[in-house]
Every structure is written in C-alpha cells, then in structure tokens.
C-alpha cells in the first residue's frame, strides 16, 4: 500500500490570484505577479480583463499587468465569459459597475445555475443597473456608471465574493462608502488594499461585525505581488497524510491567513498530528510550512459559526470524517448548496456509494466513520465540482475500487493536482 511522504510546494492561492489580477488592472502602472495560479478559473479572469482593455502577458514565469486605473475599463466588444468561476463573475460585476460601460457576462452550464442576484441586489442600492436572466442568473447585462451613490451596505449572508464586489465598485465611487459584514469572511481583498497602500478603515463592532470604510475615487499605484500557496489545495494532502498509515509530509510556503486555516484546528481537534511553522510575509499574507503525519481520527461536532471559514474544505473534511471513529456533524452548511455543485448532495451521495453512513438533516451533514469501505467498484459522481473530485481522489488512495467520473474538472483550481499527488506517493 502507498503512503504520502516527502515535501511539496503548494501552487498559488486561487482567491488571491483573482484579486491580484483585478486590483493590478485597477492600479496605475506596471505590476509583476509571481506564483499566480494558472488554473481555468484564473484564465477566465485574465481573458475578461484583456477584453476590458487591460494589457496582460506572461514573461519569464511572471504575469505582467499594465493597469488603467479604477475608471479604466473599456467597452468590451464581446460577451465576458466567466466559464465555471463564481469569483470571476461576481467580483468583476462589481468592478465594472462603477465604470461607464455596458457588459454582458456569461458562464458555463454550472455557473449559469448559480445566483448572481445575491451580488447585484447590493450594487443596485448604490444605483447600479443590471438585467439578469430570470432575475437571478447569467447571462447578465451590466449598465455601468461612474456616478454610483455611496451609502452604508450591510451584507446579510456572509460572503467574501459579495464583499469584494462591493469594494471593487467602491474604488471608483466618489465619497464615503461603507460595507458592514455581520459575520467575518475571508479578508484577502482588505490585505491587498493595505499592501497597495489604499487608505481605508476597518472598524470592529462590539457585536463581532466588521465595518469597512472607503473614501474614493482612488488612484492606486502598482506594486509587484507574490501569491502565497493555497491553503485549500494543501488541505487535500493534509487529510491524505492523516488517513493513510505511515504517511509523513511537509507542505511549504502555505498561506496562514486565519480566515483560511480554520480546518487545521478542526483536524487537530479530531486528533490530527499537525504542526505549523511560520516563515515569512508574502504581499500582506503570512506564510509557513505545515507538517503532518498519520493519525487516528475521531468524529467531532463542527459549530455552524465556523461555516464561512470552512466553505471550501467541507468536501475534504468529509473524507477525514469518513475515516474517523464515531460521528462527525457539520452544522449550518446551507451555503454549500450555492457552490460549483450542491455540495451537501454531492458529499452525502458519494459517501454512501463508498459504504460510509452519511445523511443530510436540514442544513447539517451527519457522517459516521467506517473502517471498511465498499469492496465493489463504485463511480464517484463529481457533478463537475473540482473539490469533490480532488477529495474522493484522496479517499481512492485507500480503496482502488473508487473511480472518479470526471477528473478533468480539477483543472478549475488545481491543474497539477495528480502530478503533485504522485510526487508524494511512496511504497
């Protein structure tokens, strides 16, 4: 039987890669971006920015972006296709809404089923105008204006994409504009604003909320950006090492942003032997090395308040839970229904296929670990969801009878996943 052994450099973070490209495009001057994730989602953002008049090209392993300023997007001649990327669609809708241009956004079959009104409803409060398919979906038309009216917006459901879309719109908005999020979410956009010396305030409320204050329009001056390693991609190998006997790995240069590594606390609580060593700060984000070795895991109850910080890791956490002793309950995970697939359905359906007891009760997922997986050949239905595919490819290391129906979808976030996984496999 194979084990995971050795060291690995994790590719650039997907969330930061999107934001680095868009903020560099909204800056004045030339930026060099290193360690950019070259996945399908990021390629969609690059293509759309090029269509909006931004010059972007790759040279000697670096991505060069020539920014046109916060009011510098040009009228596109064709539809802007976000492919499978919700981050591309939602954040770019915000970015173009405060530029006086008209755009038509499209996406693939999966993205066209994901709600866009959850972003546009807030932008409309500022005076932005949109035309959505069935009042909610792509294709979507934006009617941009440089005369949006700033006010305080309160985001009701925690979403870093909604917050970022509003920030991008606010960068070209005249006057004081504030965004209140009742539940904290990923703060990569705010960290990049600070790194780029964009003056803004973050006021923490006594109720645990965050108020982000902007006063635009801004002139942002370009800086070179290095993208830290993606902690969500690291999670697959971490869980793999925890569940496969004899495994011992170290993952290098991984981003340690507190809003992204909550899953490490969960895995430690389950009994996982994990150590983290901080190394350096990369373009505003703390990085470090994560060492992991095989551990006997136990089921736990995961608080619903942690949901915004685990949204991309629930699929791989479900694999850890399936190999743990006892029951794991993931509480308040309704947001999983709005990802690349209905991940509640994807997780429960596929765990049952491999012989793990799993059920969905309301907004919760209940998983009872099993020491013996199904001996019959079973095909995992990924629903074209890259995180479901990668997660069950890890479980397949324990059981050769597990087959994945669509491995190609991993190119959305981690094109080199199979290659990197193979580099760690040792007999």
List all residues 6 or more positions away from 241 whose beta carbon is below 8 Å from its beta carbon: 4, 247, 248, 249, 292, 293, 294
Q: Are 119 and 144 a contacting pair, CB within 8 Å? A: no
The Cα 184–Cα 262 span in angstroms is 13
| Beta-strand pair 301-302/55-59 | unpaired
Catalytic residue among 312, 385, 405, 420: 312
The Cα 82–Cα 391 span in angstroms is 24
Q: What angle do CA 228, 229, 230 make, to 5 degrees?
A: 115
Structure-token pair, residue 130? 């949109």
Largest CA distance in the chain: 64
The count of other CB atoms within 10 Å of the CB of residue 347 is 31
Helices (H), 227-339: 231-243, 262-269, 314-322
Q: Are 204 and 232 a contacting pair, CB within 8 Å? A: no
Whether 312 is catalytic is yes
Q: Are 416 and 37 a contacting pair, CB within 8 Å? A: no
Q: Which of 51, 53, 57, 42 is nearest to 91 (CA)?
A: 42
- Coil, strand or helix: which one is 61? coil
Q: How far is CA 125 from CA 55, 142, 148, 154, 210, in A?
A: 32, 14, 9, 11, 19
- Coil, strand or helix: which one is 251? strand
With tokens 């070209």, the residue in question is 172
Per the DSSP assignment, residues forming a β-bridge with 208 are none
Per the DSSP assignment, residues forming a β-bridge with 329 are 301, 366
**33 CA to centre of own chain:** 19
With tokens 């934001």, the residue in question is 19
Q: Are 260 and 235 a contacting pair, CB within 8 Å? A: no
Active site residues: 312
């Amino acid at each position: 039987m194979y084990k995971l052994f050795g060291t690995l450099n994790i590719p650039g973070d997907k969330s930061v890669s999107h934001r680095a490209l868009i903020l560099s495009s909204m800056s004045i001057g030339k930026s060099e971006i290193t360690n950019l994730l070259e996945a399908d989602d990021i390629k969609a953002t690059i293509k759309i920015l090029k269509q909006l008049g931004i010059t972007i090209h790759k040279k000697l392993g670096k991505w060069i972006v020539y920014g046109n300023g916060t009011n510098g997007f040009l009228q596109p001649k064709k539809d802007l296709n976000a492919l499978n990327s919700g981050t591309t669609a939602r954040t770019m809708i915000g970015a173009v809404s405060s530029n006086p241009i008209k755009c038509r956004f499209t996406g693939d079959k999966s993205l066209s089923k994901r709600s866009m009104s959850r972003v546009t409803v807030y932008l409309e409060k500022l005076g932005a105008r949109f035309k959505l398919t069935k009042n909610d979906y792509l294709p979507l038309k934006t009617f941009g204006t440089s005369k949006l009216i700033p006010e305080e917006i309160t985001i009701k459901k925690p979403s870093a994409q909604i917050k970022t879309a509003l920030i991008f719109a606010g960068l070209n908005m005249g006057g004081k504009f504030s965004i209140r999020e009742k539940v904290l979410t990923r703060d990569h956009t705010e960290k990049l604003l600070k790194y780029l010396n964009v003056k803004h305030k973050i006021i923490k409320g006594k109720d645990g909320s965050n108020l982000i204050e902007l006063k635009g329009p801004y002139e942002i001056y370009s800086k070179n950006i290095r993208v830290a390693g993606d902690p969500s991609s690291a999670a697959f190998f971490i869980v793999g090492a925890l569940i496969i006997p004899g495994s011992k790995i170290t993952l290098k240069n991984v981003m340690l942003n507190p809003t992204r590594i909550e899953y490490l606390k969960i895995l430690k609580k389950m009994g996982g032997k994990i150590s983290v060593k901080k190394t350096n700060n990369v373009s505003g984000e703390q990085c470090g090395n994560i060492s992991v070795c095989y551990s006997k895991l136990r089921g736990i109850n995961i608080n619903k308040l942690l949901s915004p910080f685990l949204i991309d890791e629930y699929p791989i956490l479900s694999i850890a839970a399936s190999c743990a002793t006892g029951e794991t309950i993931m509480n308040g995970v309704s947001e999983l229904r709005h990802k690349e697939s209905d991940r509640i359905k994807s997780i429960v359906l596929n765990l049952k296929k491999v012989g793990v007891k799993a059920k969905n009760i309301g907004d919760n997922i209940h998983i009872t670990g099993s020491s013996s997986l199904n001996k019959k050949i079973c095909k995992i239905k990924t629903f074209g969801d890259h995180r479901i595919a990668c997660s069950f490819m890890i479980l397949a290391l324990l059981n050769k009878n597990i087959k994945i129906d669509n491995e190609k979808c991993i190119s959305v976030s981690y094109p080199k996943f199979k290659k990197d996984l193979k580099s760690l496999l040792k007999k």
